[in-house]
């Protein structure tokens, strides 16, 4: 029972971590709490749905419920969601930045953008649920008494590879280093001749693409609905802050802790309160270690 | 004709109730610069506390103490204030947008409690039989609404005058000093954290008061009266009206709620019933657009900040 709960928690945690990376970038590089980030998850999932409805999810490959088409759909949706994130920046956040608006004005604007993004989805696809595929699959026993669906193992595998690649990128590439520099000290980065607007654009595209990936995974386990991203918003913030804002390993560990706490809590309290766990973790960390587990004191 | 008039009375009651919420948010945001993203949570705490304290006892529910109306009102304000104090203690010193995240969280948790703690809140069904003040004297629905409107108008005038007086006093100047330049305020001996916490708690108490007045008006409470969209609506009211101006907050409430109600009516008249959900989406998109566009093009709002107290003293 506990083993299964932990496995479920790790799966939720992987998806939360992918989304939390973008939130963490937002808090540290763009310097505001982007309440619209969760809508990028939803958009990513629905954009992939558009491709899937053209090409189909593909004939099930191996133990999975989908073929290469869904993977292609995910990549395309990732690119488009990245562009969408940038477009929102261009229309909403950049004019505010240019005017030197206070950070909280950006948070507000993010609220408005979130409302618009989410309800445009309702406008197009309605309130109901959708699924990429109706194929059924059988859970496999990965450890004694721990069963997971092949699709879930796929999600975990892809997440591990993505996070590893991102880590290498942030550590060794020029842009990655510039992003980390920007997170540490924006003024100094600017003074060193880094073209900040280009970096901001790239941060949005990267955040959007990762969010889309998380959204597709959410849609795969098991379905899509307009509130799917919004219902994770608190978990994303909790993961980003818990791990220590701006730290990639922090966002991943934060995501896992949030996922685990949500699932393990169901052993003790009614499942109705599952989504309150990220808030409890968040309050605890803000009380005792506001810089997060991996963060340094400023 | 009487139908339209009684609709207007009902509309005005809702505007006044939400106006109190907007005044509370304006104290937090407009005057102190605190971002409360969980407005609906504090409103809901007030509503449920009032309901639990005043409703007639029911065997299946805890609470429902049947206490007098005024006890319910005071209890609602105390409960919302207490919740704000707890959240504020944890977050008010931190980076400003963390307060937004934490208050957003508390609203989510409150919604979960209202849905899941059935023995206290009646769960998704909510509960009815919340006594309505004045209903002993005003027995027809129309005369009750009219009487309640007068009561609400009295309370709004009282709250506005009290806020104006407090904000014109040194206390209000200290709030704005903390908002504008915390370091300067601290160097002048003001305890910034304490002033923030006071404004946050007081603003949340007003939201609780409004929640109590709302259930007292409707006579019924259920989680579906406290959806997150309300937070955005109240934010739009304060931003559109002009944050930092109490009359602006009230005007913004009238404008935004008027737009919401009018677009709702337009949607039901124009959109075929099969597409009702999509029509509702249009209403929410309008609120989102209103927020974003007013931030981009009219950040000061319709009335703008009331700067009387910031003028140099006349001698």
- Which pLDDT value is given to residue B310? 46
CB-based burial of residue B291 (10 Å sphere; 0-12 exposed, 13-18 middle, 19+ buried)?
buried
Q: How far is the CA of A78 from the CAs of A39, A42, A206, A217, B252, in angstroms? A: 13, 12, 9, 12, 39
Q: Report the alpha-carbon distance of residue A241 to residue A282 in Å, rounded.
A: 7
* CA–CA min distance B121, chain A (Å): 14
Give the highest mean pLDDT range of A117-131, A186-200, B107-121, B132-146: A117-131
Whether residue B105 and residue A283 make contact (CB cut-off 8 A), yes or no, is: yes
Q: Whats the size of chain B, residue-wise?
A: 315
Q: Whats the size of chain A, residue-wise?
A: 298
Q: Report the alpha-carbon distance of residue A12 to residue A21 in Å, rounded.
A: 14
Of A142 and A93, the structure prediction assigns the larger pLDDT to A93
Question: Rounded mean pLDDT of A269-297?
Answer: 79
* CA–CA min distance A33, chain B (Å): 6
* Three-state DSSP state, B220: strand
User: pLDDT band at residue B168, thresholds of 50, 70 and 90?
Assistant: confident
pLDDT for A110 beyond 80: yes
Q: How far is the CA of A6 from the CAs of A1, A231, B104, in angstroms? A: 9, 21, 27
**A103-125 and A37-55 helices cross at what angle (nearest 10)?**
30
Choose among A35, A104, A113: nearest Cβ to B96.
Answer: A104
- Contacts of residue B163, Cβ cutoff 8 Å, sequence gap at least 6: B23, B27, B246
Choose among B90, B229, B235: nearest Cβ to A108.
Answer: B235
DSSP B99: H
Whether residue A287 and residue B90 make contact (CB cut-off 8 A), yes or no, is: yes
Q: Report the alpha-carbon distance of residue A229 to residue A40 in Å, rounded.
A: 7
- Which pLDDT value is given to residue B137? 74
Chain B residues in contact with A270 (beta carbon < 8 A): 116
CB A282 within 8 A of CB A237: yes
CB B283 within 8 A of CB A116: no
* Three-state DSSP state, B301: coil
Question: Rounded mean pLDDT of B15-22?
Answer: 95
Question: Which residues face A146 on adjacent strands?
Answer: A143
Among B32-41, B146-155, B299-308, the least confident range:
B299-308
CB A291 within 8 A of CB A244: yes
Q: Report the alpha-carbon distance of residue B224 to residue B206 in Å, rounded.
A: 21
Q: Report the alpha-carbon distance of residue A298 to residue B95 in Å, rounded.
A: 11
CB-based burial of residue B246 (10 Å sphere; 0-12 exposed, 13-18 middle, 19+ buried)?
buried
User: pLDDT band at residue B74, thresholds of 50, 70 and 90?
Assistant: very high
Question: For the segment B31-56, what is each residue's pLDDT rounded down to a tens digit?
Answer: 888 889 999 999 999 999 999 998 87
pLDDT for B306 beyond 80: no
Question: For the segment A26-67, what is each residue's pLDDT rounded down to a tens digit?
Answer: 888 888 889 999 999 999 999 999 998 888 777 777 788 777
The chain-wide mean pLDDT, for chain B, equals 85
CB B298 within 8 A of CB A105: no
Whether residue A27 and residue B97 make contact (CB cut-off 8 A), yes or no, is: yes
Whether residue B292 and residue A116 make contact (CB cut-off 8 A), yes or no, is: yes
Q: Report the alpha-carbon distance of residue B291 to residue B285 in Å, rounded.
A: 10
* CA–CA min distance A287, chain B (Å): 5
Single out the residue of A99, A121, A119 nearest to residue A111, CA to CA: A119
Q: Is A194 left (phi over 0), alpha (psi -120 to 50) or beta?
A: beta
CB B105 within 8 A of CB B237: no
- Which pLDDT value is given to residue B315? 43
Please state whether beta strands A146-148 and A140-143 pair in parallel, antiparallel, or not at all (unpaired): antiparallel
Of A192 and A82, the structure prediction assigns the larger pLDDT to A82
Single out the residue of B163, B64, B167 nearest to residue B122, CA to CA: B64
Is the peptide bond prior to A222 cis by the omega test (within 30 degrees of 0)? yes
- Which pLDDT value is given to residue B314? 44
Mind giving me the DSSP string for chain A?
Answer: -HHHHHHHHHHHHHHHHHHHHHHHHIIIII-S--TTHHHHHHHHHHHHHHHHHHH-S-SPPTTSS--HHHHHHHHHHHHHHHHHHHHHIIIIIHHHHHTT--HHHHHHHHHHHHHHHHHHHHHHH-SS-B-S-------EEEETTEEE-HHHHHHHHHHHHHHHHHHHHHHHSHHHHHHHHHHH-HHHHHHTT--HHHHHHHHHHHHHHHHHHHHHHHHHTT-B-TTTTGGGHHHHHHHHHHH-TT-HHHHHHHHHHHHHHHHHHTTTS-GGGGGGHHHHHHHHHHHH-TT-SSPPP-
Which chain B residue shows the shortest CA-CA distance from A270? B116
Question: Rounded mean pLDDT of A94-102?
Answer: 86
Question: Which residues face B221 on adjacent strands?
Answer: B127
Which chain B residue shows the shortest CA-CA distance from A106? B295
Query: Distance from first CA to last CA of chain B, Å, rounded?
Result: 55
- Contacts of residue B140, Cβ cutoff 8 Å, sequence gap at least 6: none
- Which pLDDT value is given to residue B1? 63
Chain A residues in contact with B102 (beta carbon < 8 A): 279, 282-283, 286
Choose among A109, A233, A276: nearest Cβ to B109.
Answer: A276
pLDDT for B263 beyond 60: yes
Question: Rounded mean pLDDT of B284-293?
Answer: 91
* CA–CA min distance B97, chain A (Å): 6
CB A57 within 8 A of CB A132: yes
Of B282 and B184, the structure prediction assigns the larger pLDDT to B282
- Which pLDDT value is given to residue B135? 67
Question: For the segment B55-71, what is each residue's pLDDT rounded down to a tens digit?
Answer: 877 777 777 777 888 89
Q: Report the alpha-carbon distance of residue B192 to residue B181 in Å, rounded.
A: 10
Interface test with A, best of B41, B96, B100, B232 (most A CBs within 10 A): B100
Whether residue B94 and residue A237 make contact (CB cut-off 8 A), yes or no, is: no
User: pLDDT band at residue B309, thresholds of 50, 70 and 90?
Assistant: very low
* CA–CA min distance A196, chain B (Å): 22
Question: For the segment A219-263, what is each residue's pLDDT rounded down to a tens digit?
Answer: 988 889 999 999 999 999 999 988 877 778 888 899 999 999 988
pLDDT for B313 beyond 70: no
DSSP B313: P
- Which pLDDT value is given to residue A296? 60
Q: Which uninterrupted H or E stretch holds B153?
A: helix B141-168
User: pLDDT band at residue B311, thresholds of 50, 70 and 90?
Assistant: very low
The overall longest dimension of chain A from CA atoms, in Å, is 59
pLDDT for B13 beyond 90: yes
- Which pLDDT value is given to residue B307? 54
Rg (CA), chain A: 19
């Amino acid at each position: 029972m506990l083993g299964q709960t932990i496995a479920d928690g790790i799966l939720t945690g992987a998806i939360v971590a992918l989304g939390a990376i973008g939130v963490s970038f937002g808090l540290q590089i763009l310097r505001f709490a982007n309440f619209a980030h969760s809508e990028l998850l939803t958009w990513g999932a629905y954009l992939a749905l558009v491709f899937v409805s053209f090409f189909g999810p593909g004939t099930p490959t191996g133990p999975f419920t989908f073929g290469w088409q869904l993977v292609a759909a995910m990549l395309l949706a990732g690119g488009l969601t990245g562009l969408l994130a940038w477009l929102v920046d261009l229309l909403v956040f950049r004019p505010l930045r240019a005017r030197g608006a206070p950070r909280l004005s950006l948070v507000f604007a993010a609220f408005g953008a979130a409302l618009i993004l989410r309800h445009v989805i309702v406008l197009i696809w309605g309130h109901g649920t959708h699924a990429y595929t109706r194929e059924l699959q059988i859970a496999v026993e990965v450890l004694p008494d721990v069963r997971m669906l092949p699709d879930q193992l796929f999600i975990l595998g892809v997440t591990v590879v993505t996070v590893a690649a991102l880590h290498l990128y942030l550590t060794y590439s020029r842009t990655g280093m510039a992003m980390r520099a920007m997170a540490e000290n924006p003024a100094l980065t600017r003074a060193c001749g880094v073209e900040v607007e280009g970096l901001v654009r790239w941060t949005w595209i990267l955040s959007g693409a990762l969010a889309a990936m998380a959204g597709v995974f959410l849609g795969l386990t098991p379905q899509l609905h307009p509130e799917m991203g919004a219902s994770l918003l608190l978990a994303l913030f909790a993961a980003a802050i818990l791990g220590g804002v701006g730290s990639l390993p922090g966002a991943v560990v934060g995501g896992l802790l949030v996922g685990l706490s949500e699932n393990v809590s169901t052993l003790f309290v009614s499942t109705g309160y599952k989504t309150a766990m990220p808030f409890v973790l968040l309050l605890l960390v803000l009380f005792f270690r506001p810089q997060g587990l991996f963060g340094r004191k400023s | 004709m009487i139908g339209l008039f009684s609709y207007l009375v009902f509309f005005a009651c809702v505007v006044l109730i939400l106006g109190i919420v907007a005044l509370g948010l304006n104290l937090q945001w407009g005057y102190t610069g605190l971002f409360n993203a969980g407005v609906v949570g504090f409103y809901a705490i007030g509503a449920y506390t009032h309901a639990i304290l005043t409703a007639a006892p029911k065997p299946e529910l805890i609470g429902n103490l049947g206490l007098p109306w005024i006890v319910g009102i005071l209890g609602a304000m105390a409960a919302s204030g207490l919740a704000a104090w707890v959240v504020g203690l944890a977050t008010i010193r931190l980076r400003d947008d963390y307060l937004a995240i934490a208050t957003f969280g508390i609203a989510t948790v409150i919604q979960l409690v209202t849905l899941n703690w059935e023995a206290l809140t009646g769960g998704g069904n909510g509960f009815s039989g919340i006594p309505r003040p004045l209903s002993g004297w005003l027995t027809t629905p129309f005369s009750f609404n009219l009487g309640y409107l007068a009561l609400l108008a009295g309370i709004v005038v009282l709250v506005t005058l009290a806020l104006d007086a407090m904000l014109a006093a040194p206390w209000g100047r200290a709030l704005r000093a903390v908002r504008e330049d915390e370091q300067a305020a601290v160097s002048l001996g003001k305890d910034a954290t304490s002033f923030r916490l006071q404004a946050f708690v007081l603003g949340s108490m007003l939201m609780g008061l409004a929640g109590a007045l709302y259930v007292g008006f409707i006579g019924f409470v259920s989680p579906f009266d406290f959806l997150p969209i309300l937070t955005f609506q109240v934010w739009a009211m304060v931003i559109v009206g002009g944050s930092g101006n109490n009359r602006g907050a009230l005007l913004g409430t009238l404008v935004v709620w008027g737009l919401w109600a009018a677009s709702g009516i337009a949607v039901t008249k124009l959109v075929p019933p099969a597409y009702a959900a999509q029509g509702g989406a249009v209403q929410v998109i309008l609120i989102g657009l209103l927020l974003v566009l007013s931030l981009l093009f009219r950040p000061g709002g319709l009335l703008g900040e009331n700067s009387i107290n910031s003028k140099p003293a006349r001698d």
